[in-house]
Amino acid sequence: MSLQTNLKGRLRNTSLPKSHGLMPIFEAVVNSIHSIEEKGNSDNGKIILRINRATQESLDFDTKSLPHIVGFTITDNGCGFNETNFKSFETLDSDHKIDKGCRGVGRLMWLKVFDLVEVESHFGDGDGYLKKRVFLFNDKLGVHSENLQVATEQQPGTQIKLVGFDESYRKQVPTKGLTVANQLLEHVLWYFVRQGSAPKIQVEDSGEIFELDSLLEEHMHASAFLETIKIRDYAFDLTHIKFRASVNKKHQLALCAANRLVKEESIQGKISGLYGKISDESGEFTYTCYVSSGYLDERVRSERISFDIAENVEDMLNEVSFKDIRDAVLARTKEYLQDVLAENVSAGRKRVDDFINSHAPRYRPIVHYVAEEQLIVDPEKSDKDLELHLHAQWYEVERQLVSEGHEIMQPQNEGHVEEYKERLSQYLRRAEDLKKSDLANYVSHRKVIIDLLQKSIERLDDGKYAREDMIHELIMPMRKDSSEVFLDSCNLWLIDERLAFHNYLASDKTLNAMPITGNNSTKEPDLLSLRAFDNPLLVNDQKSFPLASITVVEIKRPMRNDMREGEDKDPIDQALSYLERIREGKVKTKSGRPIPGNNDIPGYCYVLCDLTESMHRRCRRANLRITSDRMGYFGYNEPSHAYIEVISFDQLVKAAKERNRAFFDKLGLPCM
C-alpha cells in the first residue's frame, strides 16, 4: 500500500482525542529509545525533548503567562534513518520493529496534531561512513523533499522537529515544562523500572532542564517490585510502585502495551483501606500498579489510547476481560499493601461505627447483613457521602429480603422440612431487623426536624430572623392539602401528636379553595385540620352522626413584635376568625356526608410565635393564662367554642424534645 496514496484517508480514520495532544510527542521519544537500543548503546544514549514557544514579539507585552507552545524538537543519538528505517517510515502499517510492539502508524498522530514534521538524521551506511538524510512530512505531500547530504556531525543521531501545533490540541495540554516532563516520565516509566538501563532523557524549556532520572528519584518512594501472575492462560507482569506523597497522583491501575502507558484507572477505595495517601515506615506514598502482557500488546488499538478488550466476558471462551484483569491485580495489590493498609482499615471501620452510633442508628440493625469490606470507608468521607453509602447497603439488604421472600413463599423441595424451617427463621429474623431499622429511621428523622426547627428560630448572620415560611415548610409543605402530600411529609407532631390523625388537612390555602369547607372567603389560614369520627364513644349496631373537630394553626415570624388589635395584626383573632368562617360553610366529611351542628364543632387554635411584649399583651387581652414555665399561654374562648394555645418557639422545641427524649436516648442520639 502506498503511503502517499492512502495518507489522507488514513488520517481521517485515525482517532486521537483532544486531551491526548502530547501522545505524538511521547511516541516520538519512544521511537528515539528504540533507535538507541538498535544502535546498542543504551548506557550512553541520550534524548532531549525541547519545548518550542512563541517568541515575545508575537505576544502581548502585558501577558504574565508563559508564551504558548508552538512545537517540539526531539533529538537523540540513536542509529538514525538508515535505508531500512526510512523505508519503514514510508510504509504504513510497517511490521518493522513489530517485536517492540510498534504498529507502523505512530507517525500518523504527528500529522493529527502538527502541520509539518522536519527530519534531519545522521546514519551509518555500512562501510564506516556517515550520511545525512533530511526530509519533510505533512498531510498534503506525505514524505517529500528527501535528499542525502554530506554529514555535518561525527556521530549517528536524529532531530525531529514538530511544527505548527494545532490550537484545538494545544489548548488542552499542560503549559508548564515540569508538567510535560512528569507526564513523559509516566508514559515511558516502564523503560526505567524494567531490568536493564534506560537512556538519559531530559526536557528543555526556556533555559530550564528537567532530567527524567532526577524526577524519578523525586517521585519514587521505594524500589519497584515486579512479579508475574496468570489470568486464565495468559501471563501478566505486574510492577508495583510507591510514589512519594508529594506527587499529585491517585492510587491507580496502569495498563501498558508495547512498553508504553495506554490506560489508567483509579483504584482509590476499591480495596479496603486504599483511600488517600497511605504510609509505611518511610512516610506517606501513593500507589500504582503497572500491568503489561503479550495479551495487552496484541489487543492495543493502533492509536495506543485504548484496548479491544471487553469489560466483562459472560461466555466460556478463553478471553480475558478488564474485570478479570482488575480483580486479579487488586487481589495482588491487597496482598502487597496489606501491612500498610491495616491502620486505614481500622480507622475506616471506626468511622462507620461512630457515625451509626451518633448520627444514623437506623443502620445498626442491618450492619451484620452487610459485607465487611462495605463497612470500611475512607475516614475522611463526609457525613453526606457516608449516609449515601450506608443507604445503598440498606437498600441492597432490603432487595435481597424481597427476593428471598418470594422464594420462601414458594418452597421447591418438600422433602427437607427442617431446612425450610431454618431458612424461614433466618428470613423472619432479617425482616424483623429491617423493621427495627425503619423505626430507628423514623425516630432519627424526628431528631433532624427538631434540630432544623431550633436552627430556624435563631438569629441569622445578618442580624435578622428567618421568615415564617421556613418554619411553615418544616411543619407541612405550603400550598398543599391532604390529597397532595404524604403523611411522612408533615411534621404536625411538633405541635401536637394528635394532629397526625386527620381526615382533611390544608396548608396555606384560601378557604374557598378547600372543598371540605364550602366557604367563599379568600382568607388563608396557615394550617387547617378537620377530623371526623364514626361512633367515637359508643359501640353498638347503630351509627350516630359523626362528630368533628377543626384545628387552625397560625405561624408568625420569630421575634415579631408588632401585634395589635384587629384581625390583620392579632394572630389570636386571626385564628378565631378562620374558625368562624369555616363553620359558616357547609362542612362535609371526607366521604361527602354533611356534619350536623356546624356552629358547635369543637375548635382548636394554635398560635406559634415568640412571646414578645406585644404578643404578651394580646394574650392577656384574650384572657389567656400563662403556663407555669412562662413559655406559652392557654385558655378557652366561650363565644367561639374554641380552645386556644399560644406556643412560643422555644416551648415548641423544648416540648418536642421532651416527648421524644426516651426514643432518642434508646438510639443513643444526643439531645441538647
Residues 293 and 184 in one domain: no
Confidence of residue 270 (pLDDT cuts 50, 70, 90): confident
Q: Tally the C-alpha atoms within 13 A of residue 127's C-alpha that lie toward its C-beta.
A: 1
Kindly tell me the burial class for residue 45, based on how many C-beta atoms sit within 10 Å of its own C-beta (0-12, 13-18, 19 or more): buried
Residues 367 and 440 in one domain: yes
pLDDT tens sequence across 123-180: 987 777 899 999 999 988 888 999 999 899 989 999 999 999 999 999 999 989 999 9
Q: Is residue 379 a contact partner of residue 347, using CB atoms and an 8 Å limit?
A: yes
Question: String of b and e for 584-602 (b: at least 16 CB within 10 Å)?
Answer: bbebbbeeeeebeebeebe
Residues 654 and 528 in one domain: yes
Confidence of residue 554 (pLDDT cuts 50, 70, 90): confident
Confidence of residue 541 (pLDDT cuts 50, 70, 90): very low
Long-range contacts of 34-37 (CB under 8 A, 24+ apart): 34/78, 34/97, 34/100, 34/102, 35/76, 35/78, 35/79, 35/80, 35/85, 35/158, 36/76, 36/77, 36/78, 36/79, 36/199, 37/78
Residues 319 and 394 in one domain: no
Range of the domain at 310: 220-336
DSSP assignments along 139-205, one per residue = TTTEEEEEEEEE--SSS-EEEEEEEEE-HHHHTTS--SHHHHHHHHHHHTHHHHHSSS---EEEEEE
Residues 315 and 187 in one domain: no
Question: How far, in Å, are 248, 572, 620, 624 from residue 617 at the CA level?
Answer: 66, 11, 5, 10
Q: Which of 462, 571, 461, 585 is nearest to 517 (CA)?
A: 585
Q: In this structure, what CATH number is given to the domain that contains residue 11?
A: 3.30.565.10
Residue 452 domain-assigned? Answer: no
Residue 481 domain-assigned? Answer: yes
Residues 401 and 303 in one domain: no
Residues 612 and 480 in one domain: yes
Q: Which of 334, 330, 251, 243 is nearest to 283 (CA)?
A: 243
- For the four alpha carbons of 402, 405, 409 and 411, in that order, the dihedral sign comes to positive
Q: Which of the listed residues 175, 209, 243 is the one where a domain comes to its end?
A: 209
Residue 587 domain-assigned? Answer: yes
Sole residue written with cell 414458594:
410
Confidence of residue 588 (pLDDT cuts 50, 70, 90): low
Residues 500 and 647 in one domain: yes
Residue 344 domain-assigned? Answer: no
Residues 225 and 364 in one domain: no
The pTM for the full model equals: 0.54
Q: Is residue 132 a contact partner of residue 143, using CB atoms and an 8 Å limit?
A: no
* Cα Rg of the chain (Å, integer): 39
Residue 657 domain-assigned? Answer: yes
The total of structural domains in the chain comes to 4
Residues 372 and 421 in one domain: yes
* All cell numbers assigned to 667: 438510639
Residues 67 and 167 in one domain: yes
The pLDDT of residue 671 is 60
Q: Which of the listed residues 183, 209, 235 is the one where a domain comes to its end?
A: 209
In this structure, how many other beta carbons lie within 10 angstroms of the beta carbon of residue 48? Answer: 18
Q: Which of the listed residues 156, 175, 209 is the one where a domain comes to its end?
A: 209
In this structure, how many other beta carbons lie within 10 angstroms of the beta carbon of residue 575? Answer: 26
Residue 458 domain-assigned? Answer: no
Q: How far apart are CA 637 and CA 529, in angstroms?
A: 19
pLDDT tens sequence across 206-244: 989 999 999 888 888 888 888 999 998 899 999 998 888
Q: Which residues pair with 149 in a beta bridge?
A: 132
Residue 341 domain-assigned? Answer: no
Residues 127 and 243 in one domain: no
**Lowest mean pLDDT, pick from 560-569, 587-596, 606-615:** 587-596
Name the CA dihedral angle for 429, 430, 435, 436, rounded to a multiple of 10 degrees. Answer: 80
Residue 214 domain-assigned? Answer: no
Q: How far apart are CA 254 and CA 186, in angstroms?
A: 10
Q: Is residue 495 a contact partner of residue 608, using CB atoms and an 8 Å limit?
A: yes
